[in-house]
Chains A and B, each alone.
Chain A
Amino acid sequence: MGKIRELHNQLINKEISAVELAKEYLARLEYTNPKLGTYLSLSGEKGLDDALVIDKKIASGEDIGLLAGIPMGIKDNISTKGIITTCGSKILENYKPVFNATVVDKLYEAGGIILGKCNMDEFAMGSSSENSAYKLVRNPWDFSRVPGGSSGGSAATVAAEEVVFSLGSDTGGSIRQPAGFCGVAGMKPTYGRVSRYGLIAYASSLDQIGPIAKSVEDCAIVHDIISGYDKMDSTSANMPSTKSLDNIGKDIRGLRIGVPKEYFGGDEKVLNTLKKALAKFEELGAIVEETTLPHTEYALPAYYIIASAEASSNLARFDGVRYGARDWDQKDVTDMMSATRDKYFGKEVKKRIMIGTYALSAGYYDAYYLKALKVRTLLKRDFDEAFKKFDVLITPIAPTLPFKIGENIKDSITMYLGDICTVTINLVGIPGIAIPCGFVDGLPVGMQILGKPFSEELLFNVAHKFEQSNDFHLRKPEVK
């Protein structure tokens, strides 16, 4: 168990082999996964084969990269060739992708070892991982609480040290919020920075893949590998991959931090923890000032219109024809599609398809979808304005501590309100990193640091500087 650089040194110094390392993590995973519900499928056998290849390279004196031989988990909406990818849904129960997502190819090329596919809310729709069609995920810090969502499996598995790092996806907070609830680091990159090829789409103008790890440095190492232009993704930004590691360790004296007041409306214990973190930044030499993002209160309804509309269109592909489940009792093709979708989609997924279809249907398009896109412009202007004055913005990730399993699942609006701090960032496309900034009642509290488009390298440095000033990232939940 350890950080990427430590494990890499142990590997190249032959203190441990890649196979031994993979076995060590697999043994832990097989013990804790049934308690935490972090994985939907395990791929340990292939992982051990891959580890053997790394060991042969080390034995023959070949140079290996930092990620070679490092065990990882991949969110189950990211395509892995030959490894079942369900998206947390019964409609893809037996679906084996015939190609790898670009990020998976890049991680394989770097020598990473996939141990399994991480549990998630069905089609990434949810904030608690309770919408998984298979099983729920428990928060490693308190088994009666949710790990956040939708990348709950990806965050909990890192917190419980079942793997060294994982990939998640973030459409409205799905990397940052579970990272915050589980006390680990997670980066939602700028829209277009990391290829989405092979990510099973939820809302295409919002989705981004990003890394989750125990430390900021480990997140940066993974981000440097997975980012960069990909011709297979037509929304990929034509830029080289990040070189965040070179930027980590720089001084942050004089850094201008904006604190948008609209984000500070939650649980007092959470807010006080944030305030202490901001005071720490001042000690580190940053300039902290209050600012405003005046349209914040309109972000959630705009988000749920846009995300649901895009989802209703993206999920039309699941029709029982080319892949996935089919209802066999129907005589007519339209009935077959309708019955298949009704039977194999979960409740929240159906609801968002219905909302999105309604919002896009004749007569309502202007009132809902177009209106939401215009509000999106106003939100973007808020951030453009703020970034004229500030280098980064800091906010809570969620207005509450990790909530109890079952507490919010019956009431959609309450559940949606929990996403108040995260969804705007996807609407405006900027990067945001989540890191732990304290503990309350034994539960982690996270903060997010936001930057201008393509400022990931700066965000990693700022987050790292804060992380090194405390021991929050070193604390470990007891998973018995």
Chain B
Amino acid sequence: MSITIKDVKHVAILSRLGLNDDELQKYEKELNDVLNFMEKLNELDTQGVEPTSHVLDIHNVFRSDVVEKSLDLEDVLANAPDRDDDCFKVPSIL
């Protein structure tokens, strides 16, 4: 598989990275290098092998459904670049 500049643009949009033309070109080469390196896995036949997403023998961990103390509202907003009253403020969405 090889990645074209069109793929790089698509991935940059999915990644929310506003890359300029120079960067897009650079990433085209670098991504191809790295993905070629990853092609090595295709030497292995993994048919019938179960995937391991993590190594611990624990699965869904739930706590009981009761309200517990959470972070103070002022703490939550303390690091916000911009706020309006008790909300995070962002530029217009539409």
Contacts and interface: CB of A to CB of B under 8 A. Distances in A.
Interface of A: 94-96, 98-99, 191-192, 205, 231, 234-235, 237-238, 295, 297-298, 300-302, 304-305, 312, 316, 319-326, 330-339, 341-342, 345, 350-351, 353-355, 357-358, 361, 367-368, 370-378, 380, 412-413, 416, 428-429, 453
A355 B46 CA distance: 22
Q: Which of A231, A297, A375 has the most CB of B within 10 A?
A: A375
Contact of A373 (B51, B58, B71): B51
Interface string B39-69: 1111110100111111110100101000000
B58 A341 contact: no
B5 interface: no
A361 B16 contact: no
A319 B93 CA distance: 14
B79 A205 contact: no
A367 B1 contact: yes
Interface in B1-39: 1, 3, 7-8, 10-12, 14-19, 23, 27, 30-31, 33-35, 37-39
Given A319-B16, A332-B91, A335-B18, A98 B55 contact: no
Nearest to B56: A192
A357 B38 contact: no
Contacts of A304: 34, 37-38
A374 B55 contact: no
A405 to B, nearest CB: 21
A243 B28 CA distance: 51
Contact of B41 (A326, A353, A371, A416): A371
Contact of A416 (B37, B44, B55, B75): B37
Given A332-B91, A350-B19, A354-B17, 8 more contacts: A316-B16, A319-B16, A322-B80, A330-B91, A354-B12, A367-B1, A380-B52, A416-B37
Nearest to B53: A373
Interface residues of B, number: 54
Interface of B: 1, 3, 7-8, 10-12, 14-19, 23, 27, 30-31, 33-35, 37-44, 46, 49-56, 58, 61, 63, 71-72, 75-76, 78-82, 88, 90-93
Contacts of A368: 38
Given A322-B88, A367-B1, A376-B51, A98 B75 contact: yes
Nearest to A233: B61
Nearest to B49: A374
Contacts of B93: 332-333
B16 A338 contact: yes
B34 A235 contact: no
Given A304-B38, A333-B92, A354 B31 contact: yes
A394 to B, nearest CB: 21
Contacts of B30: 351, 412
A361 B14 contact: yes
Contacts of A372: 41
A10 B55 CA distance: 43
Nearest to B76: A98
B14 A298 contact: no
